[in-house]
Amino acid sequence: MASTPIRFAEMRSQLEAARAGMGISLLPCFLGDADPMLVRVPGSPVSHIGDVWLLTHGDTRRTKVSAQKWTSGSL
């Protein structure tokens, strides 16, 4: 049975499609692991595909709170 790939430009759409059972999707661990409806594909490696940029206001970027949230992974 041939399948037709579906492509989404937005990560939210990819997440919703995976949750709806439309197939598998490459999602960041923080999204997939937090969703009880999703499971990792067995045997698939966790790999770094891109960078995450943090945008802050110039007055707050050097504060302890910003640094702590970023390094703790709570952002």
Transcribe 25-69 into DSSP letters. ----HHHHTT-TT--PPTTPPP---S-------TTTTTSHHHHHH
60, 66 Cβ separation under 8 angstroms:
yes
Amino acid identity, residue 35? D
- When mean pLDDT is compared over 11-15, 47-51, 70-74, the highest value belongs to 11-15
Whole-structure pTM value: 0.57
15, 27 Cβ separation under 8 angstroms:
yes
Structural domain boundaries in the chain: 11-41+51-72
Give per-residue pLDDT as tens, 10-32: 889 999 999 999 988 888 888 88
